[in-house]
Amino acid sequence: MHKHVIVIYPHPDDESFGSSGTMTQFRNQGVPVTYLCGTLGEMGRNMGNPFFANRETLPDIRKKELLDACKILDVNVEMLGYRDKTIEFESRDEIAEHLKGYLEDIKPTLVITHYPGHAVHPDHDAMGAAAVEAVRKMDPEDRPEVWAQAITNDRYETLGKPDIVNNVEAEFDVKVAAIQAHRSQFEGMFQKMRQSPDFKGQYEDVMERFKHEEFYQWQFNN
Amino acid sequence: MKAIELDEVQKALDQYSNRDVYIHLETTNGAYAKHFDRNAYNVGAFIRNAEVRYTRAKLVDAGDAFRVGLKMDKGWIYAEGVTDWELNEDGQLLMAGHDSEGRVMVALQISENPFRY
Ligand SMILES: [Zn+2]
């Protein structure tokens, strides 16, 4: 059994959409979970539907939503203070060092993050790359496992079958509640999925997809 | 924010003319445009806390939205498609255009003090 799980993503809501079912499974087993959230999603385009936020109020609103979601998920959260959309332009090494500080402090046995290069949003890719780099910097015997999450449409073709597929149907209520805590974001997002030509009428499929959380086990070669 | 009313917003724009101000200007079709439609590609640009001084501001009613032009000594600042505005408690003039789902498509903001960064 894992001793402590650290989840690393750049945006408030990545945790709820991405791996909240898995986090809930760990919490139900009594495993502590800490979410390291890179930014406050300051540049998000969704302002609620109908919109109630603006560019200047959004950071505080999303911070509150993040805290609400993490309360529902019963996980600790640390906000890292980077700025939305800019992570790929920062020094990867500095971010990795920053993250490594948390890893050395908390000593997790598992890190969950985005699969660099396969996570659609540049912040996801950059934060995932920094997270992998942070673990790589550690002594091989001290390294936690890394589960990398790919969300590209062609992930199966390019990466093959995921190593870990968690059925989170039993945790689905918690997951949906956590997603809904991100009130400024989820309405626009669901709308988008409903209308998307590349998810064609697949809203139900998307909901179905939310019932499984998939990860690739990261292999370190050095 | 509320729907733009031409006279009110023009008055607010005029208040900042010939003063050093900070600008936030952005436009985007979202980081997931391509993800949700393979024929699309992501487009976006923003500049935050550029220090500028404009000598003239004009808001033009385009029917379904407004255009804003700010004339500077050596150039222009332009935004098209703004529909909503607010003068917030920090004295910042916020203007933005939203799609039917409330998502920001364009924003132009002016402030005497830097925007939070
Ligand atoms: Zn994200």
The interface predicted TM-score of the complex, written ipTM, equals 0.91
Q: CB-based contact (8 Å) between A59 and chain B? A: yes
Q: What separation in Å is there between the alpha carbon of A148 and the centre of ligand 1?
A: 14
The pLDDT value given to residue B41: 84
Nearest by CB to residue A55, choosing from B102, B104, B117, is B104
User: What DSSP assignment string belongs to A173-218?
Assistant: HHHHHHHHH-HHHHHHHHHHHHH-GGGTT-HHHHHHHTTEEEEEE-
The pLDDT value given to residue A81: 98
Q: Which residues of B touch A82 (CB under 8 A)?
A: none
Asked whether residue A145 is assigned to any structural domain, the reply reads yes
**To the nearest whole angstrom, how far is the Cα of B99 from the nearest Cα of chain A?**
10
The pLDDT value given to residue B29: 84
Residue B49 pLDDT greater than 60, yes or no = yes
The pLDDT value given to residue A207: 75
Vertex A73 angle, CA A69 and A79, to 5°: 55
Asked whether residue A222 is assigned to any structural domain, the reply reads no
- Mean pLDDT, residues B18-40 taken together: 85
The pLDDT value given to residue A97: 98
Give the residue on B whose Cα is nearest the Cα of A46.
Answer: B103
Asked whether residue A175 is assigned to any structural domain, the reply reads yes
| CATH code for the domain of A86 | 3.40.50.10320
Three-state secondary-structure class, residue B72? strand
Domain of A109? 5-217
Which domains can be identified in chain B, with CATH numbers? 2-111 (2.70.180.10)
CB contact under 8 A, B102 and A54: no
In a mutational test of the A interface, the residue from B101, B105, B106 whose CB has the highest number of chain A CBs within 10 Å is B101
How many CA atoms lie within 13 Å of A189's alpha carbon, on the beta-carbon side? 15
DSSP A89: G
How many CA atoms lie within 13 Å of B115's alpha carbon, on the beta-carbon side? 26
CB contact under 8 A, A56 and B104: no
Domain count, chain A: 1
CB contact under 8 A, A54 and B30: no
Q: Residue A135: exposed, middle, or buried by beta-carbon count in 10 A (0-12, 13-18, 19+)?
A: buried
Give the residue on B whose Cα is nearest the Cα of A59.
Answer: B116
Q: What separation in Å is there between the alpha carbon of A11 and the centre of ligand 1?
A: 5
| B96 phi and psi angles, rounded to 5 deg | -155, 155
Give me the helices (H) in chain A, please.
Answer: 14-28, 58-73, 92-106, 122-136, 155-159, 172-181, 183-195, 203-209
**To the nearest whole angstrom, how far is the Cα of A133 from the nearest Cα of chain B?**
24
Contact between A24 and A51 (Cβ < 8 Å): no
Asked whether residue A190 is assigned to any structural domain, the reply reads yes
The pLDDT value given to residue A201: 53
pTM: 0.92
Asked whether residue A39 is assigned to any structural domain, the reply reads yes
- pLDDT less than 50: residues of chain A: none
Asked whether residue A75 is assigned to any structural domain, the reply reads yes
Q: What separation in Å is there between the alpha carbon of A14 and the centre of ligand 1?
A: 5
Taking only residues 18 to 57 of chain B, the set having a beta carbon closer than 8 angstroms to any beta carbon of chain A reads 24, 26, 28, 30-32, 35-39, 46
The pLDDT value given to residue A199: 56
